[in-house]
Structure 1
Amino acid sequence: MRENFAESLRAVLIHEGGYVNHPKDPGGATNKGITHRTYTAWLRQHNQPVRSVKEITDEEVAAIYKAQYWDAVRGDDLPSGLDYAVFDFAVNSGPARAAQFVQRIVGVDADGVIGAQTLAAIGRTSAKQVVAELCAARLTWLKRLKTWATFGKGWARRVAEVRAKAIRLAEASYVHVTGPEASEPAPGKASGPESTTATIKDVLSDKGAVGGVAGVLGAAGTLLGGNGPVQYAIAAVLVMAALTGIWWLVRGRQA
């Protein structure tokens, strides 16, 4: 909702904090959630001299967030609560990724662009339910990032606070609910490579994926119970197929 931008921005800024230049943050030098690269591009676009992101003004921060994150995920057109949840996700991990997560939840093509089809699908769902599923999926994905060990504690708190505030907004349709839901900074841009170990663990927790692989391995075990070069060869092929299946599942989760 258009009316929710100012309040959503205030909460996001609490989570983003001030100037940070953590060596493990893939975003690099960041101030109020705006990376130096993003700020430099914004200044050049507006024919202004490049300067440090430390010097960014509040007006510039609001303008960048509105144009590059809120508008990018159609914040004005999203239902109350979901607008904030998607906006915070977009700021932390990119608008396209946030949009794709929502699109998968509502069952439309996850092209990373929220358009008429996505908005129509969202309109047929409960905003509270989508918020809950989005925050759960976001947290699961965050745990797979290689930077989880460094930033995970703050990210987990951030997602929990976003979920609480977003659901309150959804329940109230529109009401100021500033308060303890946004408590303190949770720095670190959530993007970059995923941990292979975490991704494999995520795949193995998928009962459907495990069931398919287990079936292949079971067939291989049965063949290995007999004798003969042909049986051994077929069993070897089945084992390779199972390993290839796991590899493709991991690749799919990382995509």
Structure 2
Amino acid sequence: MTFDEAFKRLIGHEGKFTNDPKDRGNWTTGIIGKGTLKGTKFGISAMTYPDLDIQNLTLENAKTIYKRDWWEKISADDLHPAIIFQVWDFAINSGMGTAKRKLQKAAGVAEDGIIGPLSLRAIKKMDLNDILMKFNSERLMHLTSLSTWGRYGRGWTIRVAVQLNYAAMDN
């Protein structure tokens, strides 16, 4: 799994500019009704990048941000390619710390959000299909626990279903 392959897949989920005032990611503070409503484009949100001109963000600029701030921070070189994309996609959708903790939970290790030697050993010891299935199960359980599930749950479920297809293709 190269970054370019992963990015092409990701843009299938993330794309057009959205400015939903009920989505906290669209606000510069991450708090609905506080700060500036700047929106999200290509999955790059005002909450995460409050100083960025979200509406005028180019696809190339988004790609640079994803490589620098997300791809390079998920231990991509240390994980199986099938796992990398799953964790990366979830990190973009729900936050890096959440994605790493759910991967650790799926592997049965302490959920500290640091994918270090102990986590990597546990992940590598598991059957690839098992870790992929457990990780996506943790992802769904996390998403269904959110107060915004009623509003965004259908879209999140479709996204996880697509991820399960990718997991089957990549393993």
Residue type of the partner of 1:33?
G
Paired residue for 1:36, among 46, 49, 57? 46
User: In the alignment, what sits opposite 2:9?
Assistant: 11
Within a 5 Å distance, the mapping from 1:44-55 to structure 2 comes to 52-55=53-56
Contact 1:82–1:128 (8 Å) recurs in 2: no
Q: 4+ residue stretches of structure 1 with deviation over 4 A?
A: none
Letter in 1 for 2:102: F
Larger Rg over CA atoms: 1
Q: In the TM superposition, what is the alpha-carbon distance from 1:77 to its structure 2 partner?
A: 1.9
Q: Secondary structure at the match of 1:146?
A: coil
Q: Distance in 1 between matches of 2:47 and 2:94?
A: 15
Rounded to whole Å, the distance in 1 between the matches of 2:80 and 2:68 is 19
What is the CA deviation profile of residues 109-168 of structure 1, one whole-angstrom value per residue up to 9, with x for unaligned ones?
Answer: 211111222112111112221111111121122112111111111110100111110221
Report the aligned-residue RMSD: 1.5
Partner secondary structure for residue 24 of structure 1: coil
Per chain length, whose mean CA-contact separation is higher, i.e. which structure has more relative contact order (CA < 8 Å, sep 6+)? 1
Which segment drifts farther, 87-96 or 75-84? 75-84
TM-score by length of 2: 0.86
Deviations 1:40-62 (A, max 9, x none): 45xxxxxxxxx521111222211
Per the alignment, residue 20 of structure 2 pairs with: 22
TM-score (norm 1): 0.59
Report the alpha carbon displacement of residue 37 of structure 1 after superposing the two structures with TM.
4.2
* 1:172-187 paired onto structure 2 within 5 Å: none
Give the deviation of 1:39 after TM superposition.
3.6
Ranges in structure 1 where 5+ consecutive residues have no aligned partner: 42-50, 171-255
CA contact (8 A) 1:24 1:147 kept: no
SS state of the match for residue 81, structure 2?
Answer: coil
Residues in 2 aligned to 1:71 and 1:54: alpha-carbon distance in whole angstroms:
25
- Counterpart code for 2:12: I
* 1:152-207 residue CA offsets vs partner (Å, 9 max, x unmatched): 1111010011111022111xxxxxxxxxxxxxxxxxxxxxxxxxxxxxxxxxxxxx
Q: 1:64-98 deviations in whole A, cap 9, x for unaligned?
A: 11222222221232102111111110000011110
